[in-house]
Structure 1
């Protein structure tokens, strides 16, 4: 089994799982359906294509930089009739950074790696209005599962965000993974993709378990004392018995 790691960063991201109609919300981290859609587009697959091989991939995501939630109002007109459409309320994550990992058959992961390096359709972070900041490819790992890869992946937050935490040698990051079989039961999320067909999109339920992982901060700087600061000299503990034990033995006095 191989794992493909992806850095998902950009000015705006939006990862909806239950968003419908005029209110389009976003989850706090990339959804499996959103990442699978990104990979399917990179491969050049049509929306009506079979997704069973991609949907079977194991998936996990780490929140390296949570970002800020934004709300926007959008207007639109019908493409055919020109009639004004209802005002929609849309939510985004600004300045967020995530590391996602998918695991599966070696050959499939190899083809996905090639696709994200030279995608047929450009990748987007949940919506077409949300392009990535730069290359999303972090490479492949062999013989590991997604959680293990994310526990060992370097911190991918922006430099200015890492600098804010320069006093911490380790930073604690949330990690979301899938619960399968007899594993712990987490939060139920409807983001397991079954079909991206515009006429009949379908998603199944998926259990998501939330944990944390500690990763080194590359910008950690130990606290330094200001120049000219005089450190107090430690005072030894008072122990008069020690002086008595160091006296040389004396001869007894005459007559005693």
Structure 2
């Protein structure tokens, strides 16, 4: 079994697990359905294709930078009649950074990593209006399980955010698929995709457990003297 790590960062993200009419909310962290949808798109799968192999992958997400929840009001018109549609309320996460992990058979994980490096459909962070700010693929970890991979992966927050922390490690919250023994105490989230077919989208409940990992920090890449012209003093 191998683990594929993804860095999910961008100006805006939106990971909805439920929507009610014109109100589109976002979860505080990426959903399994959203990340698997991104992977399915990278593979070039159609919305009506079978998702059983992707849904069987174990999933976890680490919050490296929680970001800020913001609200946007949007208007639209029907293309044929130009009739105004109801005002819609949409929520986003601004300046958030996450590390998502999917664990599965070596061949499947390697195929997903290759697809992210040359995607058929470009990845987006929950909605098409939310592109990532950099490469998503952090690589495959074959020597560790899901939790160990998230513990070993350096903190991926933005440089300005990392400057607030000076210790060698940082405590970061994780949400992960519950193991069978953990199901009685797990929270439930309806974000396990059964079908992305727009005519009949279907999602099942997923057991989720929360814990904290101590991840290594990255050395600061800020050099306060980088733009100074420092000259060696002339010798006598």
Partner residue of 1:183? 182
Post-superposition shift, 1:143?
4.2
Classify the secondary structure of the residue corresponding to 2:19. Answer: coil
Residues 1:72 and 2:72 aligned together: yes
Q: Provide the C-alpha distance between the structure 1 equivalents of 2:163 and 2:170, rounded to a whole number of angstroms.
A: 12
Classify the secondary structure of the residue corresponding to 1:40. Answer: helix
Q: Provide the C-alpha distance between the structure 2 equivalents of 1:67 and 1:127, rounded to a whole number of angstroms.
A: 17
Classify the secondary structure of the residue corresponding to 1:154. Answer: coil
Partner residue of 1:88? 88
Count of residue correspondences: 219
Partner residue of 2:130? 130
Partner residue of 2:142? 142
Residues 23 and 89, structure 2, Cα contact 8 Å, conserved in 1: yes
Residues 150 and 215, structure 2, Cα contact 8 Å, conserved in 1: no
Partner residue of 2:170? 171
Unaligned runs of 5+ in 2: 221-236
Q: Provide the C-alpha distance between the structure 1 equivalents of 2:152 and 2:80, rounded to a whole number of angstroms.
A: 51
Post-superposition shift, 1:87?
0.5
Residues 29 and 98, structure 1, Cα contact 8 Å, conserved in 2: yes
Q: Provide the C-alpha distance between the structure 2 equivalents of 1:194 and 1:145, rounded to a whole number of angstroms.
A: 25
1:104-123 aligned at under 5 Å gives the runs: 104-123=104-123
Residues 188 and 207, structure 1, Cα contact 8 Å, conserved in 2: yes
Q: TM-score, normalised by structure 1?
A: 0.83
CA RMSD in angstroms, aligned pairs only: 1.2
Residues 1:193 and 2:178 aligned together: no
Q: Provide the C-alpha distance between the structure 1 equivalents of 2:48 and 2:20, rounded to a whole number of angstroms.
A: 20
Classify the secondary structure of the residue corresponding to 2:182. Answer: coil
Structure 1 moving runs of 4+ over 2 Å: 79-82, 216-220
Post-superposition shift, 1:80?
3.2
Post-superposition shift, 1:21?
1.5
Q: TM-score, normalised by structure 2?
A: 0.90
Residues 10 and 96, structure 1, Cα contact 8 Å, conserved in 2: yes
